[in-house]
Amino acid sequence: MKTLDEKKWMPVPVTNLFDELVAGKGKGLNHLPQTDKVGLCYIGATNRNNGVLCFVKSNEISENMMQQGNCIGFIKNGDGSAGYAIYKHEPFVSTSDVIYGYAKWVNKSTGMFFVATQDKIENKYSHGYKRNEQHLRGDKVMLPVTIDSKPDYAYMSEYVREHYSAMLSKYRAYVAKRITKLGDYVEIPTLEEKECKSFGIADLFNIFPGKRLVASDSTPGNHPFIGALDNNNGVARFVSDKNNSLDKNVLGVNYNGNGMVIGFYHPYACIFSDDVKRFHLKNHEDNAYVLLFMKVAILQQKSKFGYLYKFNAGRIANTKIMLPVTDDGGPDYEYMELYSKNMMIKKYEQYLNFINEHSLNFVGCL
């Protein structure tokens, strides 16, 4: 199979690729009850989570708005998302901020390939130049072509199948290695069976500040810069800058922004925004498993805080979290570590079993 560099590529107009372009039918979630259980995907103007904002219950209203899957969604609006595309396989409900292209050549593999190469043109769109249907019809996307200069859908499909199979193999090896490193599952009491007590955050942690670094003053590099995000493990960008917030093996907790009270564990060396506090345990060595347990315990207090009641230094110090305790009433760090390890082992084994059971179907349906 030829590499991407060996293939001939040509810009192909979007209008030549799709039989139909249809905007989403939704105007918001006012009449669509959400659900945490299995439901219809509700697609919005985001390229995260493959466009899924939430899930909505299947009822008369949502079914009237439902669109068929196996299509390409072109995102019109959204902070940082305008100009991107997504592939949707299953039926869904969508906002009108996404336009969907339907064509006979679209399937999982060709759709995934198309989205990856289409996203190379996303930087032409912004708040001042939004993607509407007229602009979309004027777009051209670079695609590999056959000797007669037609889009080479067979090549796209085979390319994705090969790379998907390779990634599955890598993932199997990674998960198996992680399970070996974590060791055997250890039977311990459930959280419901453990006695828990409240502890002040300031009694558990030494808390250090981050340092302000605006994007315009930073230099691109290889060090993660941690911002007050609710995603991407808090990594806002990669920089070459260093300052006195440089840290590792640490729990970073947001006290500002959309991710307020959300924390992320950072085993690697990184620097921190002034909107993120660095938490180091006072009475126990920092390790991934205890800090990940603490992250979840701290997150339980999120509902108390918001833009009018921020998670500032004083409130952090006065906030209490519930933790399992030993017989003498102190935090049971050993239990927290074993609990986190057990959770990881169970999840990795679930992932591995799922891949082993369904890998042939995964590749076969591409």
Where residue 52 sits, what CATH number does that domain have? 3.90.220.20
Q: Are 266 and 180 within one domain?
A: no
Q: Are 326 and 203 within one domain?
A: yes
User: What count of other Cβ atoms lies within 10 Å of the Cβ of residue 143?
Assistant: 23
Q: What is the C-alpha to C-alpha distance for residues 41 and 67, in angstroms, rounded to an integer?
A: 10
Residue 360 inside a domain? The answer is: yes
Segments forming the whole domain that contains residue 242? 196-332
What is the pLDDT at residue 75? 94
Q: Are 321 and 216 within one domain?
A: yes
Q: How confident is the model at residue 314 (pLDDT cuts 50, 70, 90)?
A: confident
Q: Are 66 and 143 within one domain?
A: yes
Provide the CB-side half-sphere exposure for 132 (13 A, CA): 5
pLDDT digits (tens, 9 = 90+) for 61-83: 888 899 999 999 999 987 678 89
Evaluate if residue 104 carries a pLDDT over 80: yes
Q: Are 25 and 57 within one domain?
A: yes
Which has the minimum average pLDDT: 22-31, 108-117, 242-251? 22-31
Round the average pLDDT of the chain to a whole number and report it. 92
Residue 323 inside a domain? The answer is: yes
Would you say the C-alpha torsion 263, 174, 119, 85 has a positive or negative sign? Answer: negative
pTM over 0.85: no
The mean per-residue pLDDT over the stretch 42-68 comes to 90
Residue 21 inside a domain? The answer is: yes
What is the pLDDT at residue 277? 95
Considering its fold, how many domains does the chain have in total? Answer: 3
pLDDT digits (tens, 9 = 90+) for 281-297: 999 999 999 999 999 99
Residue 1 inside a domain? The answer is: no
Evaluate if residue 212 carries a pLDDT over 90: yes
What is the pLDDT at residue 352? 86
Residue 66 inside a domain? The answer is: yes
Q: Are 203 and 247 within one domain?
A: yes
Residue 191 inside a domain? The answer is: no
Element spanning 200, H or E? strand 196-200
Q: Are 355 and 316 within one domain?
A: no
Residue 118 inside a domain? The answer is: yes
